[in-house]
Amino acid sequence: MRCSDSGPATPGLFDDLDVPQPTRVENLGPQSRVLRGFALPWIERLLPALETVLAEAPFRHMVTPGGFTMSVGLSSCGQLGWTTDRSGYRYSRIDPQSRQPWPPMPEAFRQLAEAAAQAAGFSAFTPDACLINCYRPGAKMSLHQDKNERDYSAPIVSLSLGLPALFLFGGQQRSDKSQRVPLLHGDVVVWGGVDRLRYHGVLPLKDGEHSLLGQQRINLTFRQAG
Ligand SMILES: O=C(O)CCC(=O)C(=O)O
């Protein structure tokens, strides 16, 4: 389950499960929340499901329309997968690498995303796309808005697994000052409504070793895209 290696899981991957803690909620804006540790009770279901998805659709480094290779490895599951190449950013029903539909969204993923959206004040969230981002040390994501979805009435639900990262949460303009939000294994960020189009990104991942995921951070971003 590595960005550049879709081989078998690390032995003992599930031996050291985190102990669930009650969720602490932090507000980033009027309709954006960090749900601390929200996913910890789901980890035992999420990680095997993630391995199944990645066996079918391994991480790959996509190219932006400007010709830059992204430092983050990408995969997707669900009806729609987010892709980028020289012709643009878009959602596609087909994985451009395998030319097959993306793997189905595992039930545990969907349930977690819906529960997190509900906990953050967004009922009726039904994700049809889950973008899976893999960061190795040094990988980053520049400030951007999520704008390829058909309408913006549904929130974005974003789960962090593995190594800690510094998430940037900015304003409606790229030049607005960003908050720096440390995100840990099991944290979920939800933003929608008036905050749906806020710029966000991730600073370069620091070196480290996570007890379950090794030298990487994996982010699952759930969207209602179609
Ligand atoms: O990795 C993250 O926490 C954010 C990912 C992200 O911004 C995106 O996929 O659009």
Q: Is residue 22 part of a domain?
A: no
Q: Does residue 10 have a pLDDT over 50?
A: no
Structural domains in the chain (count)? 1
Q: Is residue 192 part of a domain?
A: yes
Mean pLDDT of 117-142: 97
Q: Does residue 6 have a pLDDT over 50?
A: no
Q: Is the CB of 167 under 6 A from ligand 1?
A: yes
Q: Is the CB of 146 under 6 A from ligand 1?
A: yes
Q: Which residues constitute the domain of residue 211? A: 28-223
Q: Is residue 3 part of a domain?
A: no
CATH number assigned to the domain comprising residue 157: 2.60.120.590
Q: Is residue 170 part of a domain?
A: yes
Residue 14: predicted pLDDT? 43
Q: Which parts of 81-212 are beta strand (E)?
A: 81-85, 88-92, 129-135, 141-144, 156-162, 165-169, 179-183, 188-191, 200-202
Residue 180: predicted pLDDT? 98
Residue 23: predicted pLDDT? 81
Dist. CA 101 → ligand 1 center (Å): 22
Residue 4: predicted pLDDT? 59
Q: Is the CB of 34 under 6 A from ligand 1?
A: no
Three-state SS for 46? helix
Task: Kindly report the protein residue whose alpha carbon is nearest to atom 2 of ligand 1.
Answer: 219
Q: Is residue 10 part of a domain?
A: no
Dist. CA 144 → ligand 1 center (Å): 9
Q: Does residue 8 have a pLDDT over 60?
A: no
- d(C-alpha 51, C-alpha 218), whole Å: 12
Q: Which residue has the higher pLDDT, 7 or 73?
A: 73
Mean pLDDT of 126-145: 98
Q: Is residue 4 part of a domain?
A: no
Three-state SS for 190? strand
Percent of the chain past pLDDT 90, that is, above it, reads 89
- d(C-alpha 13, C-alpha 1), whole Å: 10
For the chain, what is the mean pLDDT?
93
In this prediction, residue 21 has a pLDDT band, given cuts at 50, 70 and 90, of low
Dist. CA 100 → ligand 1 center (Å): 24
Mean pLDDT of 165-179: 98
Q: Is residue 117 part of a domain?
A: yes
Q: What is the pTM of this model?
A: 0.92
Ligand 1 atom with minimal separation from the 189 CA: 3
Q: Is residue 18 part of a domain?
A: no
